Chains A and B, each alone.
Chain A
C-alpha cells in the first residue's frame, strides 16, 4: 500500500524521511516531489518564502526612511524636536508607502486572486499494511500538513 503526505519544506521533512529509513523503509520506497509554485500569483502580504517581484515592503521602507530624514531635518526647527519628528516621519512614511503599494498591487492583481497553499513537498511511501500506522505516526510527528492512504 501507499501513504501520501504533504509537508512544508523544513528540516522536519528530512527528519521524517531519515526516521522512516531507520525504521526499515527502504530508500527506493520513498518518493519526494518538491512542488513548484504557480508563478506570478502574488499575495497581498509577503510570506516567509518571497519578497522579490511584488513586495509591499519596498515602498513602505523607502518612504519610511525618506520621511524619517525629513522629520529629523524639520524637527530641528519645530517644537517637538528632531527625535520625535523623525519617529513620526518614519511611521507616516511607512503607512503612506504601504498604502501606495497596496493600491498599486490591487490594480495589478485584480481578478487573479488565489489562496496560497502551504504544501511544498508531496511524499509517497510504499510500505506493508502492518507498517502503515507507524509511517503515519512518523509523518504526523514531523508536522505533516496532511496524510492519506492508498489501499492497493
Chain B
C-alpha cells in the first residue's frame, strides 16, 4: 500500500512513542534544565525525559526536605529569623541533602548539553519515527496540539497539561504530588480564607513546610507541558514530511514545466 521506512537500528532516533508515553530528543536550554533541578530536585530530569532519576530525586527531595525542615529553614532565613532557622534545621540530614541537590543541577545541565548534540545528529538523518502506538489499554499518537491549551490546563490543575499531550509519566506523577502538597499544606483552606479577606487566619492555617513545594510544581508543570506540546508538534510534522517524500515524489510524475 505505502512505503514504510525501516525504523530499526537507528543510531540517532528523534522520538519514541509507546501507548503509555512519548519521549523525544530535542534541543533544550541547559540553564533552563539546571534551573528546574534547583527549583525542585528531579524536575530537571523529568523535563529531559529521564523519569527514573527524576522520580527518585523528587521523592528523595520531598522526604529529606520534610524530615530536615529545609522549607521552614528557608522561610525563616529569608525573613530574617535566623535563630529559628538554626533551631529548626536538622544539620545531619541537611548535609546529606546538599550532595544530591547539587548533583541534580549539575547532571541536568550536562544531560541537556549532550542531548542537544544528539538532537543535531538526529536532525541530520531522515526522521524515522512511528506516528502512532496502540495497545489494548491505550492509544497514543502524534497530533497537532495547541501549546496554550496545555499551559491553560496546567494552570487549572498541574499535571493535566501533560495528560493532554499524553506525557503521562510526568502528568500522573505531578498530579499525585500536587494533590498531596495541596492537601497537607491546607492551601485550599487558606485560599478560602484569603478570598474572604481573613488574611491573618489564612497565614496561620497554612503549613509552610508543604506550601513551599507548590510554586515550583506550578511553574514547572506549565512550562514543561507547553514546551513538549511544541516538540511533539514538530515530530508530527517531521514524520508526515518523511512519509510524503517517500510516497508522493515519484520520479515518473509529469511536471508542468
Question: A48 to B190, Cβ gap below 8 A?
Answer: no
Assembled-state Cα–Cα distance A48/B250 (Å): 30
Assembled-state Cα–Cα distance A65/B38 (Å): 11
Contact of B208 among A17, A28, A68, A82 (CB under 8 A): A82
**A96 in contact (CB, < 8 A):** no
**Which residue of chain A has the shortest Cβ distance to B39 in the bound complex?**
A65
Question: A31 to B249, Cβ gap below 8 A?
Answer: yes
Assembled-state Cα–Cα distance A121/B212 (Å): 48
Given A9-B144, A52-B26, A81-B190, answer yes or no on A57-B226 (Cβ-Cβ < 8 Å): yes
Contact of A34 among B214, B231, B241 (CB under 8 A): B241
Question: A65 to B215, Cβ gap below 8 A?
Answer: yes
Assembled-state Cα–Cα distance A53/B223 (Å): 15
Most chain B CB neighbours (cut-off 10 Å) among A13, A29, A72, A124: A72
Number of residues in A with C-beta < 8 Å to the partner? Answer: 54
Given A13-B240, A48-B144, answer yes or no on A83-B190 (Cβ-Cβ < 8 Å): yes
Assembled-state Cα–Cα distance A150/B255 (Å): 11
**B164 in contact (CB, < 8 A):** no
Question: B143 to A11, Cβ gap below 8 A?
Answer: yes
Assembled-state Cα–Cα distance A24/B219 (Å): 52
Question: A48 to B253, Cβ gap below 8 A?
Answer: no
List, in ascending order, chain B residues with CB within 8 A of A124's CB.
253, 255-256
Assembled-state Cα–Cα distance A28/B2 (Å): 12
Question: B237 to A9, Cβ gap below 8 A?
Answer: yes
Most chain A CB neighbours (cut-off 10 Å) among B187, B218, B248: B248
List, in ascending order, chain B residues with CB within 8 A of A46's CB.
147, 230
**A101 in contact (CB, < 8 A):** no
Question: B256 to A28, Cβ gap below 8 A?
Answer: no
CB A36 to nearest CB in B, in angstroms, measures 9
CB B256 to nearest CB in A, in angstroms, measures 5
Contact of B252 among A28, A62, A74 (CB under 8 A): A28
Interface residues of A in 32-54 (CB under 8 A from B): 32-34, 46, 48-53
Contact of A69 among B215, B231, B247 (CB under 8 A): B215
Contact of A73 among B193, B212, B236 (CB under 8 A): B212
**B233 in contact (CB, < 8 A):** yes
Assembled-state Cα–Cα distance A86/B75 (Å): 13
**B68 in contact (CB, < 8 A):** no
Assembled-state Cα–Cα distance A143/B193 (Å): 50
Given A65-B219, A79-B199, A83-B202, answer yes or no on A58-B248 (Cβ-Cβ < 8 Å): no
CB B89 to nearest CB in A, in angstroms, measures 15
**B27 in contact (CB, < 8 A):** yes
List, in ascending order, chain A residues with CB within 8 A of B211's CB.
72, 82
Assembled-state Cα–Cα distance A64/B222 (Å): 11
Question: B227 to A57, Cβ gap below 8 A?
Answer: yes
Would you give 9 A-B contacts (Cβ < 8 Å), ordered by A?
A33-B244, A52-B26, A69-B212, A77-B79, A79-B199, A81-B206, A83-B202, A86-B214, A126-B254
- Sorted nearest first, the 10 A-B pairs with minimum C-beta distance are A65-B219, A34-B241, A68-B215, A51-B230, A32-B248, A32-B244, A61-B223, A28-B250, A81-B203, A81-B202
